[in-house]
Amino acid sequence: MISLSTNPAQSLLDPANHTLVMIDHQGQMAFAVRSIDISQLRTNAAMVSQAAAGFGVPTVLTSVAEKTFSGPVFDEVRAPFPQKEVIDRTTMNCLEDQNVVDAVNRIGRRRIVLAGLWTSVCIAGPALTALEQGCEVYVIADACGDVSGEAHERAISRMVEAGARPLTALAYMLELQRDWARAETYGLTTGIAARLGGGYGLGIIYAGAMFGGHGG
């Protein structure tokens, strides 16, 4: 016999229980990506950034060698956070950079969500580091990319075996919303989905045009 309740799982993400760290969404890092189409990667990263900004998720933006090698962070990642400094570093593992560590510590949340390039290096490094130091780690797999599908999948497997939890960009946004009765963020969520959500977004646009409503 069971006795279920409407209490959500503690492992679910909400805007108040995690820090988002966006890592090295930069041109030089993206040029070699083969595990996902670059346009889709950019779309997914934009969805994550817009959702996090709209829901007020504390977010750290970091780049590697921006001025000398990798170039600027994608506009679609930076634009939702116009006042936020991008922390540039030399370390491949952003949690070996004191400025990034200080930024994460100031926010003070033990649950960390990661997205960026490349999965096997600049995502696996901080994921394994944070897990070993007692944090919970989530990885937005389709807002990450690597030099091959093999490299990406092995990195995801390695992180999962260590305790990380993978999800996708759309799942991340919908997990933040979670209830269509939350009217204050309904328009934000459906608006981002309509612009960036592929076929799901087309469904929302269609529903609005044909029936005056939105799909959930």
Looking at 32-97, list the stretches that DSSP marks H as alpha helix, in order from N- to C-terminal side. 38-55, 75-78
Is 153 a domain residue?
A: yes
Which range marks the domain in which residue 52 is found? 19-175
- CATH number, domain of 147, equals 3.40.50.850
Phi and psi at 119, nearest 5°, equal -60, -45
Phi and psi torsions of 21, nearest 5°: -120, 115
Residues 109 and 58 sit within 8 Å (Cβ to Cβ): yes
Residue 7 lies in a domain: no
pLDDT of residue 207: 86
Per-residue pLDDT reduced to its tens digit, 10-39: 999 999 999 999 999 999 999 999 999 999
The reply to whether 107 falls in a domain is: yes
Residue in the structure block whose two tokens are 């083969």: 34
Residues β-bridged to residue 61 = 22, 86
Render pLDDT for 137-186 as a digit per residue (tens, 0 to 9). 999 999 999 999 999 999 999 999 999 999 999 999 999 999 999 999 99
- pLDDT tens, residue by residue, 114-137: 999 999 999 999 999 999 999 999
Q: For the chain, what is the domain count?
A: 2
Note the pTM of the prediction, 2 decimals. 0.95
pLDDT at 216: 55
Which two structure tokens, joined as six digits, stand for 78?
A: 């930076």
